[in-house]
Chain A
Amino acid sequence: MATDAVRAQVAAKWQDSFNRLNRGQPGITGLMALSEAWNIASEFLHPRDLTTTPTQKEPNMSAIKIAFDVLSKSRMLPMILESFLEDMRKQQHLITAEVNTYMSEFENSSDPRVIGRLVHRLVEWYKAWHPAPELGHTILSAYTLSFQTHVFSVLPPSFPRAFKALVTSTLPKLASDEDQEDEEPPDMSVWGSFETLGLVERYESLIASVCYEHIEAYVLEECRGKWSESMLTGLREWMATKVVPWMVYSYARGAKTPDEAKHMLQGVGSRFDFHICKTLCDLRTSEIFDIIIDYPDSLNALNDLRECLQRVDQRAELVSTLRYANKKRLLHPGADTKDILTQYVSIIRCLRIIDPPGVLLFKVADPIRRYLRERSDTIRCIVASLVGDGESGDSLVDENEPIQPLQTAEVEDYADPHWEPEPIDAGPDFRTNKPSDVISTLVSIYDSRDLFVKELQVLLAQRLLATKDGNFEKERRNIEILKVRFGEAALQVCEVMLKDMTDSRRIDQHVQSQKASVIHPTIISRHFWPPLQATNIVMPGQLQEMQESYAKEFTTFKPDKKLSWLPHLGTVHIDVELTDRTVSTQVPPLEAAFIELFLEKDLWTIEDLVAKLGGVDKASALKSLGTWVDLGVLKEEEDFKYRLLETAEAETSGGRAHAPRPAIAEEPLAVVTVQQQQAEQMRVFWKFIEGMLTNLGSLSLDRIQTMLKFAPTYDRNIDQLGAFMEAARREGLVTVQDGMWKLNKK
Chain B
Amino acid sequence: MSLAPPRSSTKTSVTGSTTEGAGSVTRRLSSELMQLMMSSSPGISAFPKSDANLFEWVGTIEGAPGTIYAGLTYKIFITFPPNYPYVAPNIKFESPCYHPNVDLTSGAICLDILQDKWSAVYSVQTILLSLQSLLGEPNNASPLNTEAAGLWDSPSEYKVQLMRAYRPISDGPSA
Taking Cβ atoms with an 8 Å cutoff, the residues of A that contact B are: 684, 687-688, 690-692, 694-699, 703, 706-707, 709-712, 740, 742
Within 8 Å of chain A (Cβ to Cβ): is B141? no
Residue of B nearest to A684 (CB): B38
Counting residue pairs across A and B whose Cβ atoms lie within 8 Å, the total is 61
| New A-B contacts (10) at CB < 8 Å, excluding given A688-B37, A695-B47 | A690-B37, A691-B36, A691-B37, A691-B47, A695-B60, A695-B75, A696-B58, A696-B174, A697-B170, A710-B30
Q: Which residues of B contact A699 (CB under 8 A)?
A: 173
Within 8 Å of chain A (Cβ to Cβ): is B153? no
Check B173 against A710 for contact (C-beta < 8 Å): no
| A696 in contact with B47 given A687-B37, A687-B38 (CB within 8 Å) | yes
* A695 CB contact (under 8 Å) in B34, B45, B172: B45
Within 8 Å of chain A (Cβ to Cβ): is B100? no
Check A695 against B173 for contact (C-beta < 8 Å): no
Check A709 against B51 for contact (C-beta < 8 Å): yes
C-alpha spacing A712/B173, complex, angstroms: 24
Check B170 against A695 for contact (C-beta < 8 Å): no
Residue of A nearest to B36 (CB): A691
C-alpha spacing A697/B45, complex, angstroms: 12
Closest chain-A Cβ to B171's Cβ sits at a distance in Å of 5
Check A710 against B51 for contact (C-beta < 8 Å): yes
C-alpha spacing A694/B169, complex, angstroms: 10
Check B47 against A694 for contact (C-beta < 8 Å): yes
Check A695 against B59 for contact (C-beta < 8 Å): yes
Q: Which residues of A contact B48 (CB under 8 A)?
A: 707, 710
* B46 CB contact (under 8 Å) in A691, A707, A740: A691
Q: Which residues of A contact B51 (CB under 8 A)?
A: 703, 706-707, 709-710
0/1 interface trace, chain B 31-65, chain A, CB 8 Å (1 if under): 00110111000000111111100100111100000
Main secondary structure of the interface of A (DSSP, over half): helix
Taking Cβ atoms with an 8 Å cutoff, the residues of B that contact A are: 30, 33-34, 36-38, 45-51, 54, 57-60, 75, 169-175
* A698 CB contact (under 8 Å) in B58, B75, B172: B172
Q: Which residues of A contact B170 (CB under 8 A)?
A: 697
Check A698 against B171 for contact (C-beta < 8 Å): yes
C-alpha spacing A707/B175, complex, angstroms: 13
* B47 CB contact (under 8 Å) in A707, A712, A742: A707
Task: Supply 18 A–B pairs (Cβ within 8 Å), ascending by A.
Answer: A687-B38, A691-B37, A691-B45, A692-B47, A694-B45, A694-B60, A695-B58, A696-B175, A697-B174, A706-B51, A707-B47, A709-B51, A710-B30, A710-B48, A710-B51, A711-B37, A712-B30, A740-B173
Closest chain-B Cβ to A467's Cβ sits at a distance in Å of 36
The 5 closest A-B pairs by CB, nearest first: A695-B47, A706-B51, A695-B58, A687-B37, A692-B47
Q: Which residues of A contact B169 (CB under 8 A)?
A: 697
C-alpha spacing A710/B36, complex, angstroms: 12
C-alpha spacing A710/B124, complex, angstroms: 15
Question: Which one of A697, A699, A709, A742 has the highest number of Cβ atoms from chain B below 10 Å of its Cβ?
Answer: A697
Check B171 against A742 for contact (C-beta < 8 Å): yes
Closest chain-B Cβ to A735's Cβ sits at a distance in Å of 10
Residue of B nearest to A686 (CB): B37
Q: Which residues of B contact A709 (CB under 8 A)?
A: 51
Closest chain-B Cβ to A681's Cβ sits at a distance in Å of 12
Closest chain-A Cβ to B103's Cβ sits at a distance in Å of 22
Q: Which residues of A contact B34 (CB under 8 A)?
A: 711-712
Residue of B nearest to A708 (CB): B51
Q: Which residues of B contact A712 (CB under 8 A)?
A: 30, 34
Residue of B nearest to A704 (CB): B51
Q: Which residues of A contact B36 (CB under 8 A)?
A: 691
Residue of B nearest to A705 (CB): B51
* B49 CB contact (under 8 Å) in A694, A696, A711: A696
Closest chain-A Cβ to B44's Cβ sits at a distance in Å of 10
Q: Which residues of B contact A684 (CB under 8 A)?
A: 37-38
Q: Which residues of A contact B30 (CB under 8 A)?
A: 710, 712
Closest chain-A Cβ to B59's Cβ sits at a distance in Å of 6
Q: Which residues of B contact A690 (CB under 8 A)?
A: 37, 45
Residue of A nearest to B39 (CB): A687
Q: Which residues of B contact A742 (CB under 8 A)?
A: 171
Check B173 against A697 for contact (C-beta < 8 Å): yes
Check A695 against B46 for contact (C-beta < 8 Å): yes
C-alpha spacing A687/B49, complex, angstroms: 16
Residue of B nearest to A685 (CB): B37
Q: Which residues of B contact A698 (CB under 8 A)?
A: 171-173
Closest chain-B Cβ to A705's Cβ sits at a distance in Å of 9
Closest chain-A Cβ to B49's Cβ sits at a distance in Å of 7
C-alpha spacing A742/B171, complex, angstroms: 8
Closest chain-B Cβ to A696's Cβ sits at a distance in Å of 6
Check B33 against A710 for contact (C-beta < 8 Å): yes
C-alpha spacing A35/B155, complex, angstroms: 154
Closest chain-A Cβ to B48's Cβ sits at a distance in Å of 6
* A696 CB contact (under 8 Å) in B33, B37, B54, B173: B173
C-alpha spacing A694/B60, complex, angstroms: 7
